[in-house]
Chains A and B, each alone.
Chain A
């Protein structure tokens, strides 16, 4: 259904499908990030899967709802924080007198445990956090320019501020 101001009402099938798939997208993406060192996957792949949840939210409920549900400022800061964390975990090798990105604290737990691989695990988590915040922020930024009804949403925000 299309209204006069250009905002399209999404069909109920898309809404129900997105409602069903959203938890799975988020949970499975986080699983891929967390188990990056013991099973196929890793930070980049899982991060993009979690960021796809923002696209699902946009497809079902439009740009206005997606923008109000997700705090883009947190995403913008979180990406820089993830990149900084990666460098800090990489520098851990320097503090024990070895080279950058040297794997340290890896001798706790058996092979196959969740946290058995030392800094590889934590670097994977920081890359995952960085990718999910960064790609989510990029998706929302581009949808804000391209989506129909995005300007109306911005106007509404300005009215609220006044």
Chain B
């Protein structure tokens, strides 16, 4: 029991140290901002074409530029979730299926045991 607690404490400390290091490193390198204030956010919402996508490259290039031609989904996130990474979503939904099946098995067994104990 005591060894378990020490292991848990050490792992929590390691995770905490990694988090603090990540924050300090991101702050000191200057790359911590996700929105640089360069574009007018209200104008992008009103007219999505206002955002300049001509420089998108790498993985973002097919998602940003070819999305409407390839999928015709107005919601880009839905296109990413169900088409570009559809296999990942399959695994994601099967996690839910497996966890609910496990909960059903464990909880129904414990319910039966409770009744038998009462009798």
Contact = CB atoms under 8 A, between A and B. Distances in A.
Contacts, number: 105
B94 to A, nearest CB: 7
B103 interface: yes
A142 to B, nearest CB: 7
Interface in B72-111: 72-75, 77-79, 81-83, 86-87, 89-90, 93-94, 96-97, 100, 103-104, 107, 110-111
Instruction: Give the contact-size bracket for chain A.
Output: 35 or more
Dominant secondary structure at the B interface: helix
B83 A101 contact: yes
Interface residues of B, number: 27
A58 interface: no
Contact of B75 (A38, A107, A135, A145): A38
A70 interface: no
Given A79-B97, A127-B89, A131-B96, 16 more contacts: A36-B75, A39-B75, A76-B104, A80-B97, A101-B86, A106-B71, A107-B72, A116-B74, A117-B74, A119-B82, A120-B71, A120-B73, A131-B93, A134-B100, A138-B100, A142-B103
Interface of A: 36-42, 76, 79-80, 83, 86-87, 90, 100-103, 106-107, 109, 111-112, 116-121, 123-124, 127, 130-131, 134-135, 137-138, 141-142, 144-145
